[in-house]
Amino acid sequence: MNRVRILVIVSLSLAVISAIAYVSGCGSSMTDSSPLSGENGITQTQPGDASTTAPSPSTPPAASPSEVALTNGVVSLDANTFVSGQARFFTVQVPASSSLPGKAVSFFVVKDGAGVYHAAADTCQVCYQGKLGFRQEGSSMVCNNCGQSYPLEKIATEKGGCNPIPINPDIQVVDGKVNITRQELEQVSQFF
């Protein structure tokens, strides 16, 4: 009889721990009702799935972001430095304006398999307070806080929940440069 009681107590304890982890993660946070939010191609996982675990100590750390500067209100990146399917991370100091304080904004740019450039903040609306950002695993970006996974092709096309906060879903290359404007960076600065 003691074994049955112990098993019941252990089972209930695990259920409570799983519920707490689920609520504090991103599993139930898709509350944005705009046309950009949704499940179009986004891989949503549930607690207990292998992909929802936080990065283990053996997960290699992401490369340090490159510091870039705003020049005449634009961050200009050489398009030739982007290899298809490989995200690159950046940090830029966005100066204070009359309505916004100055902030360092972290973001990443990725060129997907179709050659489309996507830019997103290195954070999301749910996990930004953890300041852990995203990492790349193969053809997906993964939240370092909750483990949600997003295909490269969907980066910056979905907003809300734990999606990387969109900066630009379809950056055009102009004169060999990928350009991100100060206004685009200011739109995500509140999360840093």
pLDDT, tens only, 63-89: 577 888 888 999 999 999 988 789 999
- pLDDT, averaged across the chain: 74
At a CB cut-off of 8 Å and minimum separation 6, what does 59 contact? 135
| Distance, CA of 156 to chain centre | 9
pLDDT > 90: what percent of the chain? 29
Give the pLDDT band (50/70/90) at residue 44: very low
Which burial class, exposed, middle or buried, applies to 57 when counting CB atoms under 10 A from its CB (0-12, 13-18, 19+)? exposed
Residue 56 has pLDDT above 60, yes or no: no
Q: Which residue has the higher pLDDT, 124 or 78?
A: 78
Domain of residue 68 covers 2-191
Amino acid 83: pLDDT: 83
What is the number of structural domains in the chain?
A: 1
pTM for the model stands at 0.65
Amino acid 63: pLDDT: 59
Residue 120 has pLDDT above 70, yes or no: yes
Amino acid 45: pLDDT: 36
Amino acid 178: pLDDT: 94
Is residue 88 within 8 Å of 136, Cβ to Cβ? no
pLDDT tens string 137-181: 999 999 898 888 889 998 998 888 888 999 988 788 999 999 999
pLDDT tens string 95-106: 887 777 788 999
Provide the 3-class DSSP secondary structure of residue 115.
Answer: coil
